[in-house]
Amino acid sequence: MRGVLYVSHGSRVPEAVNEAKAFIDLVKEQVDVELQETCFLELTSPDLSQGFQSLVDNGATEISVVPVLLLSAGHYFKDIPAEIKRNQQKYPHVHVTYGKPLGVQPRLTEILKQRIETSGVIPNDDAKVLIVGRGSYNPQTQIDIETIKSQLQVQTGLNDIETCYLAACKPSFEEALHRAVNADSSQVYIVPYLWFTGILDQQIAKKVAEYAGDKEIVLCKRLGNHKHLQIALKARVEETFEYVTQ
């Protein structure tokens, strides 16, 4: 029997955990599998081993482990595989298939375009846009965010778009925001490439508030439970079924 284990990041912020659970529940309803569990990498229960065991206890002999992650970074390459290995050693009879993060997709970049459009503020010709990524020590992260930047330029026609990060990569969000506020542009759009709320989302809002009144700064909504994300995650789940049957 097949089971699906969704692995989300986890957070100290209850609202972030609730958002992740609610989003995954939306996707579960669209996936034709009886056994589906949600777990978290850190800070939140159940953890991956608990989610895995729950599926096994309910009769799963094939488990699709699906990372609820936007991009490929340390969690995808190291942390989740290490947990999978531990559980495979405990349950050697269970076949495990490991899915992919959502990755860079034009339909996901389109969400950023929509967030700018629904901000309630029409961009001026000289508007500056800051795409804010989580950041990672894996070099692929910056490559991916730069690709998203290029896609957003094509989709919006806005030319002054810059990438920045909340951790690990340069420039930092704080540095980029400071430069943007002191530049000649009349507006600054902050566009977080973050899935759910949490500490990082709160940090962005706090930093933007410090510059209130200096210039028109438009803080756009995070990605959230957008339909494009639901479709993309469902596709990642179903890809793992194909791997199992090959």
pLDDT over 70 (residue 162):
yes
Fold of 2-102+226-245: Rossmann fold (3.40.50)
Angle, helix 227-245 to helix 106-117, in steps of 10 degrees: 170
β-pair partners for 128: 188
Tell me, letter by letter, the H, E, C secondary structure of 161-181. Answer: EEEEECCCCCCEHHHHHHHHH
Q: Quickly state the pLDDT bin for 243 (edges 50, 70, 90).
A: low
Domain locations along the chain:
2-102+226-245, 106-219
Check if the beta carbon of residue 141 is closer than 8 Å to that of residue 107: no
**pLDDT value at residue 245:** 41
**Residues above pLDDT 90, as percent of the chain:** 96
**pLDDT value at residue 246:** 37
pLDDT over 60 (residue 20):
yes
DSSP state of 132: E
Among 3.30.70.100, 3.40.50.1970, 3.40.50.720, 3.40.50.1400, name the CATH number for the domain at 106-219: 3.40.50.1400
Domains 2-102+226-245 and 106-219 equal at CATH topology level: yes
pLDDT over 80 (residue 134):
yes
CA neighbours closer than 13 Å in the CB half-sphere of residue 225: 12
Tell me the CA end-to-end span of the chain in Å, nearest whole number. 16
**What are the two backbone dihedrals, phi and then psi, of residue 34, each rounded to the nearest 5 degrees?**
-75, -45
- Whole-angstrom Cα Rg for the chain: 19
Q: Quickly state the pLDDT bin for 244 (edges 50, 70, 90).
A: very low
**Predicted structure pTM score:** 0.95
**pLDDT value at residue 230:** 98
**What are the two backbone dihedrals, phi and then psi, of residue 69, each rounded to the nearest 5 degrees?**
-130, 145
What is the arithmetic mean of pLDDT over 207-215?
89
Residue with tokens 């508007």: 127
pLDDT over 80 (residue 124):
yes
